[in-house]
Amino acid sequence: MSKLLEIEGVCSGYGDVKVLHDINLYVEEGEILSVVGANGAGKTTLMRTISGQLPTTAGEIRFMGEAVNHLPAYKIAERGIIQVPEGRRLFPYMTVHENLLIGSTMKHVRASREKNLQYIYQLLPRLKERERQVASTLSGGEQQMLAIGRALMENPRILMLDEPSLGLSPLLVSTVFELVQTIAKAGTTVLLVEQNVKQALKISSRAYVLENGVVAMNGPSSELIDNPYVKKAFLGL
Amino acid sequence: MSLMPSIINGASMGAIYRLIAMGLTLIFGTMRVTNFAHGAMLMLSMITAYSVWAATGINPYLLIVIIGPLMFFVGYATQLFLIRPVLKAESDKNDPIGVLLLTAGFSIVLENLALMIFGADYRMAQTDFSNTVFTFGRTSLSAPRLYGLIITLVVSALLWAFLQCTEPGRQLRATGQDRNTAALMGINSEQTFAVAFGISTALLAVAGLVLLPFYYVTPSVGNVFQTRAFIVVVLGGLGSVPGALVGGIIIGLIETVAAQFMTASVTSVLIYLVFLIVLFVKPSGLFGTPFH
Ligand SMILES: Nc1ncnc2c1ncn2[C@@H]1O[C@H](COP(=O)(O)OP(=O)(O)O)[C@@H](O)[C@H]1O
Ligand SMILES: [Mg+2]
C-alpha cells in the first residue's frame, strides 16, 4: 500500500489562535481512514488545513509525494483532494441538479459529467426525484446525500467527509455510513471525520484520535475499538 | 394631457437605472463589495463613447463592439490590480471597509482625470435620430428613449440567461452564495470576481451608449446615476436581481410621472420619501432576504 496523503509536523489555526499542534498522519491508497475526537478537538480545522482553506504555520502536507500545503484551495481541489464540509454547505438557492453540475466545474472532470450524473442519480435515487428542487428545501438527510453527490462529481482521488452523520436520525446515520462504504468499495480513498466514534471505527481500517489539537492515539480501528481509554471516553462503556 | 408618454419615458429611464443597478448588484452579490466608482465608470464609458462618436460619427449603438469589450477589460483589470490586493488584506472579507474607501477614492480620481482631459463642458451626441419622435395615435415617444428601452430589456434578458444557463454564470452565482465552498469545487474566486467586475462595467458600457443620444455627457454625469442605482438596489433588496428590475421601474416612473406635476427638486424628495417608506416597512428591501 502506498501513502496517498501525508501530513508531517503540521501546525495550523486561525490567525493568533493556534489549534493544531505538530500533527502527523497519513492515508493509504484505497483505505477508509477515520479521524475521531470530541467537539472542538480540531477535526474541522484539520480538514480546512488539508483543503487549503487555512494556511499551515509549520510542517508539510504531501499528496502523491508532492507538497500541496502552499496551494490555494481551488488548486488543491484540482488535485483531487475533495472535501465534503461540515454542515453540508450546499449552494442554497440552486437546485439539486445545479449543485451537482457545480461539482463538475473543473475542466478535467467536465468530460465525465454525464457519466457521473447517471452514476449518482442511480446511487441516490432520492436526488433524481428532487432534481428540480432548491437545495435549501431538502431534508437534512437529502442535503447530506447531495453534498456527497456533489463531491463525487469532482472525481475525488481522496474524499474527505467532515461529520457526515451530524444531525441525522439513527436510520439515516446508517444509510450514510453504508454509502461511505459503497464509495470506498468502488475505489475511492476516504478520510472520514466523525464524532460518531463507534460507527467510524467499525467501517475504517485505521483511525486517529484527536484531542485538543494533537494526535492522542492512532492505530488499526479494530484495536482502538477495544482500547479501554477509547471505550471510556467515546463509546460510553 | 395623456400620461402615457411620461410612463413610457419613465419605464425607459427606469430600465437604464435598473441596468446600472444590476451591475452594482452583480458585484455586491458575488464579492460583498459596494462599488462607489460605479457612477464614475459609467462616466468613463460615456466619455470614451462620446469621443469615439465625435471622431468617427458611427451610430452609438454600434459602438458597443468597441466600448463593451473595452469596459469589460477596464472592470476586469480594476478588480485584479486595484481591488484584489486590498481585499486580500481585509480582516473581514464579508464587510470590506478598505475596499469601500478604495472605490470611493478611485471614483474621485476618475472624475478629476476626466475634468482634466475632457473639461467640465456638457456635451451631447447629436445623432440623426436624437430628435426623432414616433407617434402612436395620441402618444408620442422620443426615438432614442424607445430604442434605449428595447436594448436595455434585451441586454437584461441576456444577462439573466448568462447567469442561469452558462457555466461561468453558474460559477458566479456559486461564488456569491458561498465563496469558500465554491473553492472546494475548484472555482478560483479571484478569477470569478474579475469576471463579475468586467460584466458589471460592460453593462455600464451599454447604459452609457444608450444614454448618449439623449443625455448630456460631463465628468459628473455618473453621480446622479450612481445615487439612483443605489436607491434602486436597496429598494429592490441587496443582491436581488428581480429586485433591481422592479426598483428601477418604480424610480423611473416616479421621476417622469411626478415631473408632470412638480419641479425636479420636489421629485427627488419624493423618490427619497418612497425609498424611506419602503425601508421603514421592509428593511431588507422589496425582494431582499433578511440578512443575519
Ligand atoms: N473561525 C475560527 N476562529 C477561531 N477559532 C476557531 C474558529 N473555528 C474553530 N475555532 C477553534 O478551533 C478549535 C477546534 O475547532 P474545530 O476544528 O471546529 O473542532 P471540531 O471540528 O473537532 O469540533 C476550537 O477550540 C474552536 O473554538
Ligand atoms: Mg467540526
Ordered by where they begin, the domains of chain B are 4-281 (1.10.3470)
B185 touches A at CB < 8 Å: yes
* Burial class of residue A200, CB neighbours in 10 A (0-12, 13-18, 19+): buried
B56 touches A at CB < 8 Å: no
CA angle B230, B235, B236 (to 5 degrees): 105
Nearest CA in chain A to B240: A93
Q: How far is CA B161 from CA A40, A86, B189, B274, in A?
A: 44, 32, 21, 31
Coil, strand or helix: which one is B148?
A: helix
> pLDDT digit string (tens) for B190-224?
999 999 999 999 999 999 999 999 999 999 999 98
B171 neighbourhood in chain A, CB within 8 Å: 102, 105
DSSP one-letter string for A115-174: HHHHHHHHH-HHHHHTTTSBGGGS-HHHHHHHHHHHHHTT--SEEEEE-TTTT--HHHHH
Nearest CA in chain B to A99: B174
pLDDT at B243: 73
C-alpha cell at A176: 450514510
Paired strand residues for A83? A160
Q: Answer whether B171 sits within 8 Å of A105, measured CB to CB.
A: yes
A77 neighbourhood in chain B, CB within 8 Å: 183-186
CA angle A87, A92, A98 (to 5 degrees): 110
pLDDT at B10: 78
Other C-beta atoms closer than 10 Å to the C-beta of A37 total 24
Q: How far is CA B226 from CA B89, B151, B187, B211, B273, in A?
A: 27, 20, 31, 14, 18
B180 touches A at CB < 8 Å: yes
Cα of A50 to ligand 2 centre, how many Å? Answer: 14
Nearest CA in chain A to B191: A74
User: Cell 439513527, residue?
Assistant: A170
pLDDT band at B292 (very low <50, low <70, confident <90, very high): very low
Residue to mutate (ligand 1; options A10, A23, A45; most atoms within 8 A of CB): A45
pLDDT band at B128 (very low <50, low <70, confident <90, very high): confident
**What proportion of chain B, given as a percentage, has pLDDT over 70?**
96
**What proportion of chain B, given as a percentage, has pLDDT over 90?**
52
Nearest CA in chain A to B188: A74
Task: Using the predicted structure, report yes or no on whether residue B259 has a pLDDT greater than 60.
Answer: yes
The ranges of chain A with pLDDT < 50 are none
Report how far residue B199's alpha carbon sits from residue B194's, in angstroms, rounded to the nearest whole number: 9
User: Cell 460583498, residue?
Assistant: B32
Cα of A147 to ligand 2 centre, how many Å? Answer: 16
Round the average pLDDT of chain B to a whole number and report it.
88
Q: Could you tell me if B20 and B229 are in contact, meaning their C-beta atoms sit under 8 angstroms apart? A: yes
Once rounded to an integer, what is the mean pLDDT over residues B162-175? 94
pLDDT at A87: 93
In single-letter form, the type of residue at position B140 comes to S
A94 neighbourhood in chain B, CB within 8 Å: 170, 173-174, 177
> pLDDT digit string (tens) for A50-62?
999 999 999 999 9
pLDDT at A21: 95
A91 neighbourhood in chain B, CB within 8 Å: 173-174, 177-178, 181
A154 touches B at CB < 8 Å: yes
Q: Could you tell me if A100 and A149 are in contact, meaning their C-beta atoms sit under 8 angstroms apart? A: yes
Residue to mutate (ligand 1; options A10, A17, A39, A161; most atoms within 8 A of CB): A17
A72 touches B at CB < 8 Å: yes
Q: Return the closest-CA partner of residue B25 out of B237, B252, B251.
A: B237
Q: Of the ranges A32-36, A82-86, B260-264, B277-281, which one carries the lowest mean pLDDT score?
A: B260-264
Q: Answer whether B186 sits within 8 Å of A74, measured CB to CB.
A: yes
pLDDT at B1: 53
Once rounded to an integer, what is the mean pLDDT over residues B95-107? 91
pLDDT at B291: 42
Q: Answer whether A102 sits within 8 Å of B182, measured CB to CB.
A: yes
Q: Could you tell me if B5 and B138 are in contact, meaning their C-beta atoms sit under 8 angstroms apart? A: no
Ligand 1 atom 1 nearest Cα = A14
Once rounded to an integer, what is the mean pLDDT over residues B21-34? 90
C-alpha cell at B66: 468597441
C-alpha cell at B247: 426598483
